[in-house]
Structure 1
């Protein structure tokens, strides 16, 4: 079977076949969403970011590659977001998914992405290909009445529209740089303008913050809230909470360490929704060079990397971190090195402590005395994402 499989670029005349496979994987595509889905798909096709696997003359699988930037340690890093991975039922368990994803990895490398991330439908295939958990998408729920009383009435707030997209992106960049955020996606200004133009979204802008929220059945849902001061945070959350006469709860996609957890009197609902996403390094030296590291951290350590899918990552390397930046350069040292596979490297990049990686068999060797400095260099707030792709 695998000898007859071919990795291909999806063409426009194959989109109907993709839709048929998609319906068997995720359920039928709503008629109202069809036109927009095809429009988006054509953009991916034109940029060589919609790929598939042919079994003879039949399309058996497909996947999209998003052109993203992702914040890591307060820096933006180019990231290939893998989405819409579908395999026709009759071809599952026959190597088609692996053929597809190996092609996706190489295409992402060819496009110059140092990182890749995805939301897994199953972790098995992705772990075999070097992905590991990088962070989560968290949705908390708060009583709307609690938010309403947070104050901030002295803060001036106005409605925001598409013309405010650049200002909102500037606030996002300021917040994520200062907070050394990891995991969040960075969107282009045109996409943010579309988001703000959607009549279903309610957007409000202050001097140093903004909020975008909407109705979610009988509740309200915050898609994003950024505030650079306590008073603005209070004012924006109170604005959302002002709907408490109708909405009992406010669902919010936020970080586990968002200040609102410490502002409200009552804790968030215990039934928090968490979606885990996975990370993979495609170009280890470029990924390290682009990432931000803990200020004041100083590190010199040899790594022995083993990547069965991307040979360019395999080998002996020297990791150096200073002044918030890092480099990964080839090394000829002969001493014992910290040994990591692709999964262990991805988890370390995302800030997972080495003790956990050693306990899971994802790290070995080196000096345990250097584990502390390594952990310190990669440390930061828990990586999180607001978007599902």
Structure 2
């Protein structure tokens, strides 16, 4: 069933906010309501109406993400909500299909979202690409690991330091999928009411940062970003200096962050959480842009299955000259759009995905996929 979808005008933003409040069970105070509504001006909000009232909606944000040293246009899906009386009628399916068409028309070759249900969004081509670890510590775990010659300086969002943006960009360029943050994004979303601590080496060169809060004798570290071993030690030792103020601490960490291994007693509680999902919106456009920044000197034939974006269905030839649709071939490597996204963003190796049954093809051809990957790991610290 198809549904009539329209982009919401400003006069309908309040109705959109009311749906969010109902679906996500929160209330925006009256003194903050205008500010929240103003933020919708930089988003595209699409809605489906029933008898003149908003039944379901979806927000589309225009953002950028890093893959190694390069940035790519990304469409962020957020605020997907439906009133309960309209659920299971295909409204969200229609909104997601519409959003894919809009992103494709805008040249946004990547899309990301935070799922309420991973399996639900997998059906639409999005795949988990970013995980995070949460480290749980008590006062007795706060033991410094190595003295450093650098120093720590604390900041709030009112004293936003330019070094913070530089540190984040250097870290992001060593990963796939991290968000390109504007100064406004930093202040409104990434810092908020948090403290920022930057580690400077003995030459006063910034080498890492963490964002955190201390409340009710508990320290929560939202971002732990060291660029080298010295910064890792310095930031950890700064956390330990809070031992007289706190009884517990929680750290949100990149799964590849080795801090827990370095603890005096590594036998601590740590949990791993699947976090953000992404998908390639347009295979041909994305790969043509992506190939400009890697060395691919081979010839590969890919057959992609994408039930939601018909322009991605088919066989593509990939070579140093670019990507284009072609006729099916005997030596093609077959996968769905979810798996191709996982390959490009480094979630698993092509060989591992083949062993899982996610990729079909001859091993020598599958091995060529390795040349399409960068030596960076997937990660995402943001939320929208």
User: What TM-score range do you get, normalising by the shorter chain?
Assistant: 0.7 to 0.9
User: Corresponding residue for 2:9?
Assistant: 11
Deviates more, 1:160-169 or 1:107-116: 160-169
Q: C-alpha separation between the residues in 2 aligned to 1:344 and 1:306?
A: 10
For 1:182, what is the secondary structure of its paired residue?
strand
For 1:192, what is the secondary structure of its paired residue?
helix
Deviation at 1:383, TM superposition (A): 1.8
**Is 1:58 the equivalent of 2:53?**
yes
Q: C-alpha separation between the residues in 2 aligned to 1:197 and 1:354?
A: 37
User: Corresponding residue for 1:319?
Assistant: 318
For 1:150, what is the secondary structure of its paired residue?
coil
Q: Give matches, 1:57-136, under 5 Å.
A: 57-136=52-131
Deviation at 1:137, TM superposition (A): 3.4
**Is 1:363 the equivalent of 2:359?**
yes
Q: Give matches, 1:208-357, under 5 Å.
A: 208-215=207-214, 217-267=216-266, 269-291=268-290, 299-320=298-319, 327-331=322-326, 334-351=329-346, 352-357=348-353
For 1:42, what is the secondary structure of its paired residue?
helix
Q: C-alpha separation between the residues in 2 aligned to 1:70 and 1:216?
A: 32
1:137-160 Cα shifts (integer Å, max 9, x gaps): 332223455445134441033233
5+ unaligned residues in a row in structure 2: which ranges? none
User: Corresponding residue for 1:191?
Assistant: 185
**Contact 2:304–2:334 (8 Å) recurs in 1:** yes
1:33-71 Cα shifts (integer Å, max 9, x gaps): 534422222332xxxx21111234221111112222222
Q: C-alpha separation between the residues in 2 aligned to 1:279 and 1:196?
A: 20
Q: Give matches, 1:98-177, under 5 Å.
A: 98-143=93-138, 146-160=141-155, 164-177=160-173
Q: C-alpha separation between the residues in 2 aligned to 1:289 and 1:26?
A: 39
Q: C-alpha separation between the residues in 2 aligned to 1:99 and 1:300?
A: 37
Deviation at 1:181, TM superposition (A): 0.9
Deviates more, 1:353-362 or 1:211-220: 353-362
Deviation at 1:198, TM superposition (A): 4.5
Q: C-alpha separation between the residues in 2 aligned to 1:151 and 1:144?
A: 18
Q: C-alpha separation between the residues in 1 aligned to 2:354 and 2:35?
A: 46
Q: C-alpha separation between the residues in 2 aligned to 1:301 and 1:373?
A: 7
Question: Normalized against structure 2, the TM-score is what?
Answer: 0.85
Q: C-alpha separation between the residues in 2 aligned to 1:110 and 1:296?
A: 28
Q: Are residues 281 and 141 of structure 1, via their aligned partners in 2, closer, same or farther at CA, if it must alter by over 3 Å?
A: same
Q: What's the RMSD between the two structures over aligned residues?
A: 3.0
Question: Normalized against structure 1, the TM-score is what?
Answer: 0.84
Q: C-alpha separation between the residues in 1 aligned to 2:370 and 2:335?
A: 14
1:161-183 Cα shifts (integer Å, max 9, x gaps): 55654322222222333xx3123
5+ unaligned residues in a row in structure 1: which ranges? none
